[in-house]
Structures are given as structure tokens and as C-alpha cells.
Amino acid sequence: QVQLVESGGGLVQAGGSLRLSCAAAGSVSAINVMAWYRQAPGKQRESVAAIIGDFSTNYADSVKGRFTISRDNRKNTVYLQMNSLKSEDTAVYYCNAISRGVYYWGKGTLVTVSS
């Protein structure tokens, strides 16, 4: 079992920055992928960024060059640094971890970008 707790969401003006954190607990040693997803009102949940192992990353086209995902194994935490935020980035952001083929989710943190 893996437990995920997100933090760092909030209200920010367009062009601003936020850093989301996701702390993992439980069977963290078996986690091989950690990722961030988001769900905007009325839309489906979509993948934002993922980190495979310690260094391999991939990003949605809509956030490339603006968002950076990173992982601190000593703290069992994954981060999402979000810069140059746009109103279309407004969503609930969810942390995801894949461990032994099982997907785990946090409860989400709301990011609101005002224009």
C-alpha cells in the first residue's frame, strides 16, 4: 500500500509560479513511476508530467518548458514546479504513483490561476 498526500496548491495570478509537493508513505521502495495529473472542471483527468525511476521524465505538450517534475528519494517526495502559469492550468492536481503495477492516487490539490 502507498499513501500520497499533495500540498502547495492555491490561487496565483497568470504568469506566476507554484510548487506542488506529494509526500509518499508506505511501500515506497517499490514505486517506479510517480506522476502528476490534473482535472479541470467539466474535463477528463489528464497526465501532466511523470518521472520514471530517478531521472527519466516526460511532459504533456501543454506544459513543456513551463513545468518541471522532480523527485527526492530521501524525503519520498515528488515535486511539480509550475512556472508561467496560465488560466487554462486551473485544475485539481493529483499525485499518482505506480507500485508493482498498482496505481495509487492522492486526494488532489486545487490550483487556480486568475487572469
pLDDT tens for 13-23 read: 999 999 999 99
Coil, helix or strand at residue 76:
coil
Cell of residue 60, nine digits = 504533456
- pLDDT tier at 109 (50, 70, 90 boundaries)? very high
Distance between CA atoms of residues 29 and 48, nearest Å: 23
pLDDT tens for 27-36 read: 898 899 999 9
Query: φ and ψ at 111, to 5 degrees?
Result: -115, 125
Paired strand residues for 25? 3
pLDDT tens for 38-70 read: 999 999 999 999 999 888 999 999 999 999 999
Closest to 68 (Cα-Cα) out of 105, 18, 107, 110: 18
Distance between CA atoms of residues 8 and 80, nearest Å: 9
Distance between CA atoms of residues 11 and 73, nearest Å: 28
pLDDT at 9 over 90: yes
